[in-house]
């Protein structure tokens, strides 16, 4: 199972869509406070549709609480438009942690400094970033592809 982490998500529709993606890919969702919405927000439920009750989700009050329960920090991958290494150049494993920042600013320098693995999603110079739900879909799709190939041998 992959672990998808949203640090300080701001937009309920994005979180709902990512929750639905997690249910569909059998991934666990980790949400780190503070949020830009309340978890029972109708838009969150609308985006997650009727899949939300099937979601394996854990909330944390802060980064330290979340980080304290990670068994292997070397398997944590932070997504940043400022990273040099592409997620396509990374070998993912079952149980990895794929971390995404808030929609308006991404991950803070303080959070990035706590982990060694920073990855980017290649994109045109015409945009600053992809929508977070699309970004999660790109990365989780590649990670699941790699894991399924390893499991088929």
Dist. CA 50–CA 21, nearest whole Å: 13
48: pLDDT strictly greater than 60: no
Write down the pTM of the prediction.
Answer: 0.91
> Do 101 and 79 form a contact (C-beta atoms < 8 A)?
yes
Mapped onto helix, strand or coil, the DSSP state of residue 75 is helix
Helix (H), strand (E) at residue 52: none
pLDDT tier at 53 (50, 70, 90 boundaries)?
confident
Determine the pLDDT at residue 46. Answer: 61
Q: Are 98 and 132 in contact (CB under 8 A)?
A: no
Residue with tokens 């949020």: 35
pLDDT > 90 fraction of the chain, expressed in percent and rounded: 73
Count of Cβ atoms closer than 10 Å to residue 56 Cβ: 14
The answer to whether the beta carbons of residues 129 and 103 sit under 8 Å apart is no
* Token pair in block for residue 104: 């308006």
């Amino acid at each position: 199972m992959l672990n998808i982490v949203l640090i300080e998500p701001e937009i309920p529709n994005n979180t709902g869509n990512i929750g639905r993606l997690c249910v569909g890919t059998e991934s666990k969702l980790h949400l780190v406070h503070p949020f830009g919405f309340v978890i029972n927000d109708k838009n969150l439920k609308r985006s997650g549709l009727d899949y939300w009750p099937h979601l394996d989700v854990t909330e944390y009050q802060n980064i330290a609480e979340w980080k304290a329960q990670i068994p292997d920090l070397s398997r944590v991958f932070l997504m940043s438009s400022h990273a040099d290494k592409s997620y396509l150049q990374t070998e993912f494993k079952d149980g990895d942690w794929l971390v995404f920042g808030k929609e308006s600013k991404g991950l803070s320098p303080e959070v990035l400094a706590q982990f060694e693995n920073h990855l980017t999603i290649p994109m045109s110079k015409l945009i600053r970033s992809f929508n977070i739900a699309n970004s999660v879909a790109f990365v989780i799709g590649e990670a699941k592809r790699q894991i399924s190939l390893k499991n088929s041998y």
